[in-house]
Structure 1
Amino acid sequence: MDWSRIKNIFIIAFLILDIFLLFWLKEKQDSENFPLMTEATFEEKLEAADIVVENLPTDVGKNQFLINATAKKFSEEELNLLTMKNQDVEVKDENQQVVEKDGIEIISRLEKPIQLNFEVTSDNMKPILESTVLYGDQYRFWNYNEDKRQIIYYQTYKDFTLYNNKSGRITFYLNEKNEITSYVQTMFNTEFDAYGEQEILQPMQALEILYSNSMIKQGSTVNNIELGYYTLVQLTSQVLAPTWYFQVNGEENYFVNATEEGSIIEMDDPKTITE
């Protein structure tokens, strides 16, 4: 037998068979309109990972400004208003030295502690905030730390929260009887200088950055999404940039720079708390 000839016949037969199968598969794909394999969209990835997104903002503009902020100096008249509310007040300057006026940090001790016989929420605390501190309507409730017995507020700009900023913050201190005994207040001048308008990331784009960096785990729920501001540059004043805030599973907080940089801000790191 001519084995060489038989081998060649087999090779030619297999080539013909391969060509036939390729044509058959192409015709079958065309006839049944098989979709081409494409990468899943971000929304499809969230669905596959069982990640739920609640309260997605729909009214955020495409462009936002940077803002420049300077520390407010509290006048003698403003401090006298607190004294008239039965508060023992002192004020410190930029060097943490006690001064008589024009300081930037108020330290107040209440002569009569305020009993909190209710759940600590933004709504329940509103009357105390407005009656106790200066310009309370310009701050937003952030959290209540039961272990540290502290209630934190941050200042706002046009209804945007100035996240994690010691220069625009109120901290109420509670005793073991659940009474407010003192507070510390700092504040920016309300004449913020807005400039440098630029396009920002939309909320789902910022969320995708967190997801891509394995910050959002399978089965999570994104409870809240808000746009605020975080300090970008700190000199004699502060330059603050638009920042997306995400609350996950009711307790985890994540922040993403909303400018085209799109970097994740590690807010839990004490180094990121701006002075």
Structure 2
Amino acid sequence: MDWSKTKTIFIFAFLVLDLFLVWQYSQLVITNKYKNIQDASVTDQFKEEAITYPPLDDTPDLPPLKAERHLFTDEERSSLKEQEPAFKEQDPYRLAMKLVEPVKVDKDDLAKADTFVSAQLISGSEYVLWSYNRENSTITYFQRVNDRIVYQKSGDKQLGSIVLHLNENREIISYEQTYMDTADEEEQPQDTATALEALARLYNENDLKPKSEVTEMTLGYYTSQGQDIASQSLQPHWYVEINNKDFYFVNAYDTQVVRPNQQKKLE
């Protein structure tokens, strides 16, 4: 074996590797520098146009989730106390129950509704308050997965939601519940758009206008497919509320904007 020739080959190989690592590092520096310039430009533009927003936290890379509608078992149904089926024929994937004794909800405080959901409903502690619609006398909760809210399109067949129905005395008299079983999909987490990138997309789409206030911004998941789809993939979305009224969802993978054409009603 020609050791001199072998040594030369090794030296050349390591030289090529070193050059590649130097190039890769330089690209990373350039990318980060460009991103910092972009972020600075966005914040300067927002400041100039009097657009305000809450403090923005670091953004974790979230994986997509595989969600399947949950089949409520007879054991789960029988565990519900002081409740009875609202209909003779029950959807196996949807609970529709009425209360034997109504639960009073205070006019300006939904704490009793929160307690009822958490303590009396199946996996109730996994749901979070979304809206209170006085006109329809309903209170809606959305399911959380891995401490992230799964936002839903409005409708009567949501996947992973609880809807409480109140009478004229603001008493809970019945409810519907759906639940989703979830698992991480096998693919690796993708780069997740930052909160500032999501706001920039809304600004470029003319959804975030001058003198606006971003009143809430949360990273969660979003689905618009509803209960009829047995299995679906959930992608992370930024929930962005503007001026305590209008809200949007921004896909955290490709920054596409979802406009639900509805307003959050929490009065």
TM-score higher than 0.5: yes
- 1:229 aligned residue (199, 205, 221): 221
- Shift of the alpha carbon at 1:118? 4.4
> Which has more radius of gyration?
1
Deviations 1:104-133 (A, max 9, x none): 100011121111124244x55331112331
Written as runs of structure 1 = structure 2, the 5 A alignment for 1:98-117 is 98-99=89-90, 103-117=92-106
Match of 1:50 in 2: 50
Cα RMSD for the two superposed structures:
2.4
Q: Gapped runs of 5+ residues in structure 2?
A: 1-36, 263-267
Partners of 2:151 and 2:251 in 1: CA distance = 12
Q: Which amino acid aligns with 1:45?
A: Q
- 1:210 aligned residue (163, 180, 202): 202
Match of 2:58 in 1: 59
- Shift of the alpha carbon at 1:140? 1.0
Normalised to the residue count of structure 2, the TM-score between the two structures is 0.75
- 2:177 aligned residue (185, 210, 235): 185
Asked if 1:254 is matched to 2:248, the reply is yes
Written as runs of structure 1 = structure 2, the 5 A alignment for 1:66-105 is 66-82=64-80, 85-89=81-85, 98-99=89-90, 103-105=92-94
Asked if 1:239 is matched to 2:233, the reply is yes
Task: Give the 3 Å change call, closer, same or farther, for CA 128–233 of structure 1 in structure 2.
Answer: closer
Normalised to the residue count of structure 1, the TM-score between the two structures is 0.73
Q: Gapped runs of 5+ residues in structure 1?
A: 1-37, 93-97, 270-275
Match of 1:140 in 2: 128
Identity over aligned pairs, percent: 28
- 2:190 aligned residue (180, 183, 198): 198
Partners of 1:253 and 1:236 in 2: CA distance = 27
Q: Which amino acid aligns with 2:143?
A: Q
Match of 2:258 in 1: 265
Number of aligned residues: 218
- Shift of the alpha carbon at 1:55? 3.7
Deviations 1:194-234 (A, max 9, x none): 33221011010011110111111221111111001113888
Match of 2:113, SS state, is helix
